[in-house]
Structures are given as C-alpha cells and as structure tokens.
Amino acid sequence: MKVLHVTGARPNFPKMAPVEKALRIRDVDQVLVHTGQHFDRNLSSMFFEQLQIPEPDINLGVGGGSHAEQTSKIMSAIEPVMANETPDLVMVYGDVNSTVAATLVAVKMGLRVAHVEAGLRSNDRSMPEEINRLVVDSIADVLFTTSKDASENLGHEGIPAEKIHFVGNPMIDSLLSHRKSFETPDYVSAIKGPYSLVTLHRPANVDRPEDAYELGRMLSGLAEVLPVVFPVHPRSRESLAAHGILDNPNILVTEPMGYLEFMGTMAGARVVVTDSGGVQEETTVLGVPCLTVRPNTERPVTIWAGTNQLVERSAVVDSVRSELSSPRTILGPPELWDGNAGDRIAAHVVGDGDASR
C-alpha cells in the first residue's frame, strides 16, 4: 500500500506528524509532498525538524499569491506527481489551499482521498477556509473527524455514515508527545511576571487600514494590562508596521517561532489572544485561557471546554482584566484528545483495528 501525504502550511505539520509515524511503524510505503504554500523556515522546515518528520520527498515550491493563483499553481504542480506515484490513498490535512487543490486533482484522477480534520464548520462562507472545508468534505472518500460535533455536521450535510470516522485530534498527539521538549525563548523568559501571547493573521483582522488601526488600539490597551509577546506572521508585518503597531515598547514583536518555542511560550502565557483555529485547540489542552478575536469558530468544543471565548477587538482588554480577576472554570480536553489519534487513523487506513477506540 502507498499513501501520499500533502501538506503545505504550518498548521498541517503537527497534524500529519503522528499519522506519518503511525503508518511508518506499520511499514506503509509513504510519499511526503510539501507544496511550499508556507516557505518561511520558521513556518515550514523547522517544523519538520522539531516534529521529527522525514524530509519531504517532493517540494513543489509554489510560494504565495492570491487564493486562486496559489490553488491553481498547486493543482498544476501536483498532478504529475500523483500520476507518477499512483498512490492507493491521498491524505490531506486541515483547510488550507493545499488541501483543496490536492483533493480536487486526486478525485478527478480517480484516486481515493482521506481528509484529516473533516467536518469543522464556522458557518461563515466569507472565510476562504470554510469554502475549502465544504469542498473537500463533499468529495473525499474517508473523513476523519476530531470531535463528535464535526461528525454530526457531516451527517447533516448528507455524508454517508460509513465515510465518517471519529478518531480524535492528531495535532494534540504532537503536543502531548513533545510537551517535555517545549522551549521558552530567552527573550520571553526575560519578561518579569505574567504575559499575554498574541497571534493574529486573518485578513479580517489585519489587512484593511481600518482593521489594522483597531488592532493597534487593542494591542496598546492590552500592553497596559500585561506585557504582550507578538510573533508576527509575514503576511501581517507590512500592514501592522505601517500603522506603528510594532513600535510599542510594551509589545515584544518577534519573528514566527519554531514549534517547540511557540508551544513553550503558549504554555507559559497567562492568556492568549488569537484568530487561529489550531491555537484554540492547543490552549484547550494546555489549560491556558484563550480569547478568539473572531465572530465565530469552527471549533466550538474549545468553548464548551471552558478555555476559549469569542470576543470583539473592542472587548479584548476588558476580557483580559476579567480573566485576571476572576479566572474561568476549565473542564478539560474534549473526548479522544488523548494522544492516540494518529494511531487510530493508521489503524483504519491499513485495516488492522477499530479506528474508533
């Protein structure tokens, strides 16, 4: 049996790592394709090193561009790879452009596709990721879900039950297996007392001048309450710098961190402010309060667990003050976020056990 994995962006790598490892233990022939959607070392190659993933067999090097440009470049580049490799199964991860591009090509070539992290829904079609999720889940052959509500979403959309497999969250496998290796950078350790961690990169928060201005007010207010550690995504830096957001002495602006450094910083934070889906999940397992600067989330289980809440930018500072004075009750991680999702996925792929256990 041959499995071809397609990854391309930072959120994909911690999801793929435990699946690749579990299949390797089972001696499955695997081909790793990196589309190059993220090409910054801290967003890409460092993750392979720190998560102990074998170097990609193929790097398509597609780089950036608009959603249409990037998706079309990936489709054109990956088609000959799939034709040459003829895998028995193509595995795609999450909701990035690499995921939808690879799925469209594979299905049109008659190849079976398994989607890891299927069924997540924000019900907000203004999000490009939501369109990617809907397209991939509607045409993939095997749908691995991280939570029961995701499985229910697929059922409501008419996906046959036999395609849906609730296996837990492989990204949490990576967190748990590397937790003892988390590193806090020296420049973060130098902060005296509690600090906040901020990660913001979605276009709705950083692209338009008026949004960047509001973001600057939010960060300045937050920095008066707690020191701010702000790893800036490359696509956000120019917009934020133009509005002086990166010049506040109470905001520690850093380059994107490696996986171990970022997780160490997150684990030590008093509160996290983000618009990232994966960070909502990681903070839930780490028990770190999270404020998600979005009107919705495709990961409601993080809210039900007590760690996450949705806030508007204008409410972030007051919400942080409230958290400091009256901490929330945290219920613990969701069902099957136990470090064994990768093994369940591999068991299903090779048919050597019950993937639901």
Question: 75 lies in a domain?
Answer: yes
**Residue 117 is which amino acid?**
E
For residue 63, name the pLDDT band (cuts at 50, 70, 90): confident
What's the pLDDT tens digit per position in 305-357?
A: 999 999 999 999 999 999 999 988 999 899 999 999 999 999 999 996 444 43
Nearest-angstrom CA–CA distance, 100 and 98: 6
- CATH number for position 31: 3.40.50.2000
What is the rounded CA–CA span in Å between residue 276 and residue 319?
18
Lowest mean pLDDT among 62-71, 79-88, 163-172, 229-238: 229-238
User: How many residues would you count in the chain?
Assistant: 357
Are residues 163 and 50 located together in one domain of the fold? Answer: yes
- Residue 235 confidence (pLDDT): 65
Query: Is the C-alpha dihedral spanning 262, 266, 338, 172 positive or negative?
Result: negative
Residues 196 and 165 in one domain: no
How much is the pLDDT for 356?
40
Clarify whether residues 164 and 251 are in a common domain: no
Same domain, 53 and 76: yes
**What percent of the chain is predicted at pLDDT more than 70?**
95
Cα separation of the two ends of the chain = 23
More confident residue, 247 or 336: 336
Query: Which residues, other chains included, contact 270 with Cβ-Cβ below 8 Å and sequence gap of 6+?
Result: 194, 195, 196, 226, 288, 289, 323, 324
Amino acid, res. 234: P
157 lies in the same domain as 226 = no
Question: Which helix (H) or strand (E) is 16 found in, with range?
Answer: helix 12-25
94 close to 12: Cβ distance less than 8 angstroms: yes
Tokens 């988390």 correspond to 182
Place of tokens 């939808």: 100
The two counts, helices (H) then strands (E), for the chain are 16, 13
Residue 238 exposure: Cα atoms within 13 Å on the Cβ side: 5
- Going by C-alpha positions, the residue among 234, 176, 223 that lies closest to residue 201 is 234
Q: Is the dihedral of CA 37, 42, 46, 51 positive or negative?
A: negative
Q: Kindly tell me if the per-residue pLDDT of 231 is higher than 50.
A: yes
Cα(346)–Cα(343) distance, integer angstroms: 5
116/230 same-domain check:
no
Residue 52 sits at the vertex; the CA angle it makes with 143 and 112, to the nearest 5 degrees, is: 25
User: Would you state the structure tokens that stand for residue 266, as one six-digit string?
Assistant: 């997150």
> Which residue shows structure tokens 């296996």?
167
Query: Domain limits at 96?
Result: 2-169+336-350
* Residue closest to 134 by CA, chosen among 100, 170, 106, 169: 100
CB 163, CB 142: distance < 8 Å: yes
Distance between CA atoms of 16 and 346, rounded to whole angstroms? Answer: 11
pLDDT (tens digit per residue) in 166-206: 999 999 999 999 999 999 999 999 999 999 999 987 777 77
Whether 185 and 312 share a structural domain: yes
- As annotated, the active-site residues are 201
Domain assignment present for 88: yes
pTM of the complete model: 0.94
Give the number of domains in the chain.
Answer: 2
Tokens of 107: 């299905």
Residues 106 and 201 in one domain: no
Single-letter amino acid code for the residue at 303: I
